[in-house]
Copies of this chain bind each other. A is one copy, B any other.
Amino acid sequence: MAVSVRLPDSIRARLPYLLSRAYQRQLVLFAEHTRELDVSGREYAVMLLLEAHERLWQSQIAEALGLDRTTVTYLVDAMEKRGLAARQRDPADRRAHVIALTAAGTALLAELAPAVRAARDELLAPLSEPEQEQLRDLLIRLNQEPV
């Protein structure tokens, strides 16, 4: 193999590069720490959403998480097949499916918590506690949509 090439500062110090690196690393760490529980980041997001709201239409899940309706159909298919979520027709509007976590889903969510914490801690390890807080605050403000 030829001599390795140093990544120039014109890339290394760029925000897009830094963000994509941090994001990729987060994906890898989440996957590593939750491997034996076999849950995608998206499924985890759905579970957190259902933990907070308990009963939601698929369309509400799609809107809240910024997903396509069809994507949610596939997601819920998989979660239902694994017994993590249950689908019911909404008697009040028979077009809609109401989704809720099952007991198994709630249990898995509890199992996931320490793994997710460990992944986050590993990601943030290079920073001190106050710096971690600072980073979170800055990212929250960065993501604030202009009103």
Query: Which A residues form the contact surface with B (CB < 8 A)?
Result: 1-8, 10-11, 13-23, 25-26, 30, 41, 45, 48-49, 51-53, 56-57, 59-61, 63-65, 93, 96, 120, 123-124, 126-127, 131, 134-136, 138-144, 146
Contact = CB atoms under 8 A, between A and B. Distances in A.
Contact of A127 (B5, B10, B59, B142): B142
B136 A124 contact: no
A60 B120 CA distance: 32
A59 B123 CA distance: 29
Identical subunits present: 2
A51 B11 CA distance: 11
Contacts of A11: 45, 48-49, 52
B96 A2 contact: yes
Given A64-B5, A143-B25, A131 B135 contact: no
Contacts of A134: 134, 138
